[in-house]
């Protein structure tokens, strides 16, 4: 009986020791990861993004479904273009329904509202009238650019009917291959980017917007629309 008690005590001590070892190893691994990404990797994109998030967290102006970086926060234009706030928006060139080519970079010098949408997306349908209303009021100061992503290659007429239904007059280009969709790391639709005059992303909105949301966003990131 005494030997059974002794064996039980020894097993319990062994389990406690093993737990301690696992905890120590886990802390060590986390320490190595932290050191690798945030200390030794001084030029890595993850480190830069981590520093940017810390440095600008106080400047993020959050709304119900969007975030905006104040126009006074420095941009990361010395870094590779990336679909994140304070980074230069990745450039692309696509054609519209008439075959005319549009690139994002051609609008530098003017703020851009970049809207990703699809014909099969109900929230996209909901926000289209507000996008058109904004363009009619502020099209001289801000360039609205729509990017349609419909995964079938034969939907041009469907897209045309969709745009005609809402009398859309601002440019809309077709991302038939999904190349730009992937470049912007999108996981759903609609998604909209507020891009300043230098081509830097300063606002991102997930889901449908109202016209006042668009206006408020540009008032936060640029001076082209008076508050």
Catalytic residue list contains 124: yes
| Nearest CA among 117, 113, 137 for reference residue 125 | 117
- 216 close to 225: Cβ distance less than 8 angstroms: no
The catalytic residue among 69, 124, 221, 225 is 124
Given the candidates 3.40.30.10, 3.20.20.140, 1.10.3720.10, 3.40.50.150, the CATH classification of the domain at 58-221 is 3.40.30.10
For the chain, what are the domain ranges?
1-40, 58-221
Catalytic residue list contains 156: no
Task: Catalogue the E-assigned strands of 91-154.
Answer: 93-95, 101-103, 112-117, 143-148
Global pTM value: 0.72
148: left (phi over 0), alpha (psi -120 to 50) or beta: beta
The catalytic residue among 121, 155, 200, 221 is 121
pLDDT in tens, the chain (227 residues): 545 544 544 545 444 443 343 334 333 333 333 333 333 333 343 333 333 333 333 333 444 578 999 888 888 888 899 999 999 999 999 999 999 999 999 999 999 999 999 999 999 999 999 999 999 999 999 999 999 998 776 788 999 999 999 999 999 999 999 999 999 999 999 999 999 999 999 999 999 999 999 999 999 999 999 76
Q: Which long-range contacts (CB under 8 A, 24 or more apart) does 206-211 make?
A: 206/65, 206/66, 207/65, 207/123, 208/123, 208/124, 208/126, 208/127, 209/65, 209/66, 209/127, 209/130, 209/131, 210/127, 210/130, 211/130, 211/133, 211/134, 211/137
């Amino acid at each position: 009986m005494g030997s059974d008690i002794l064996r039980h005590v020894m097993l319990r001590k062994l389990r406690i020791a093993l737990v301690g070892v696992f905890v120590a190893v886990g802390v060590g691994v986390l320490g190595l990861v932290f050191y690798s990404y945030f200390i030794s990797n001084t030029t890595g994109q993850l480190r830069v993004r981590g520093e940017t998030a810390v440095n600008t967290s106080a400047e993020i102006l959050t709304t119900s479904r969007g975030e905006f970086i104040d126009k006074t926060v420095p941009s990361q234009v010395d870094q590779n273009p990336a679909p994140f706030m304070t980074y230069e928006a990745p450039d692309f060139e696509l054609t519209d329904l008439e075959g005319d080519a549009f690139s994002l970079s051609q609008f530098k010098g003017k703020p851009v509202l970049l809207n990703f949408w699809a014909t099969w997306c109900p929230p996209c349908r909901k926000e289209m009238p507000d996008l058109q209303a904004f363009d009619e009021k502020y099209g001289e100061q801000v360039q609205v650019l729509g990017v349609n992503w419909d995964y079938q290659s034969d939907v041009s007429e469907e897209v045309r009917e969709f745009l005609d239904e809402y009398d859309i007059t601002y440019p809309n280009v077709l991302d038939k291959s999904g190349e730009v969709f992937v470049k912007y790391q999108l996981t759903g639709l609609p998604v909209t980017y507020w891009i300043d005059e230098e081509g830097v992303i300063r606002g991102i909105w997930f889901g449908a917007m109202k016209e006042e949301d668009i206006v408020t966003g540009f008032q936060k990131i640029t001076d082209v629309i008076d508050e």
